[in-house]
Chain A
């Protein structure tokens, strides 16, 4: 539902990194989005297609890689991945304790982009 403001930020950032004198067109943009985020990839692309019209980013493809949800066990410091649908089970696979904290799986990041 908040794909629009997120997409506006993506466009603003990539245009800042694509100076008109050296970039004719942005071809692909590589993003990392946390698995905990509820963004729909398809909608980000739709909004991007709409917002980028008339800019060097027009027709650019967004390639979204999901960063996994990782927890670290408080007791033994083991870091482990949990799928979104398995969040009810947060037992450390190493020591069996249930006290652990989220270390990754949130956030949005633009890695790089292909340009011509």
Chain B
């Protein structure tokens, strides 16, 4: 074809979001506020894990929650019942949160007075893995009823998380879920990940998880 020429672009498609996420992380560090991005499939137990986490840490830390849902207030109302401030973000059909949306959620919170903000991302193992929210750490929940093959089906999610919570371990007796196989699969994809086995129903393992979180928050608070 006549006159076709090549223009070099050489740009990351997510460069904008990454820059916003980095700026947000700097701002959070300035306020000594820890931002945790919690991800999972729908029904893995994000809200219940957050409620357990609030229960364990509310005496020691000032915390708030940002709830992301495509179009409902159900989760934010559950959090608000505990007396903890919850900001509801409606993503309006979007399947994930990005740094700009989180920034909007944070506008309603007084960061200077907060030690910890937990984001409950949209329930989905695909899209949230692709978008940096500006969080200091990423955590995900895999629940026993979902099956132990999830690291093979959704590998990207397992590579972007600092923590994996294997939830609903009270179901292990009724399931062929192989905890050891999950540990091995995940560690191979992401050797740096920390794994906790928990039950937000019985409370098993919640202490270990919240101790980890408290320590991570402390590293920002006292830095």
Contact = CB atoms under 8 A, between A and B. Distances in A.
A36 B7 contact: no
Interface residues of B, number: 36
B12 A102 contact: no
Q: Is chain A's binding surface mostly helix, strand, loop or mixed?
A: mixed
B183 to A, nearest CB: 13
Interface string B159-200: 100000000000000000000000001001111000000000
Contact of B13 (A88, A110, A114): A110
Interface of B: 1-14, 16-17, 94-96, 98, 124, 126-127, 130-131, 151-152, 154-156, 159, 185, 188-191
Given A38-B126, A112-B6, A9 B188 contact: no
Contact of A88 (B3, B5, B185): B185
Q: Is the interface of B mostly helix, strand, loop or mixed?
A: mixed
A87 B189 contact: yes
28 contacts: A1-B126, A9-B13, A9-B14, A17-B9, A17-B11, A27-B4, A31-B13, A36-B155, A38-B127, A38-B154, A87-B151, A88-B185, A98-B188, A102-B190, A107-B14, A108-B12, A108-B13, A109-B13, A110-B10, A110-B11, A111-B8, A111-B10, A112-B7, A112-B9, A114-B6, A116-B3, A116-B4, A116-B5
Interface of A: 1-2, 5-6, 9-10, 12-14, 17-18, 23, 27, 29, 31, 36-38, 74, 84, 87-88, 90, 98-102, 106-116
A13 B151 CA distance: 33
B9 A2 contact: no
Contacts of B154: 38
A17 B1 CA distance: 21
Contact of B5 (A17, A29, A36, A115): A115
Contact of A101 (B14, B94, B191): B191
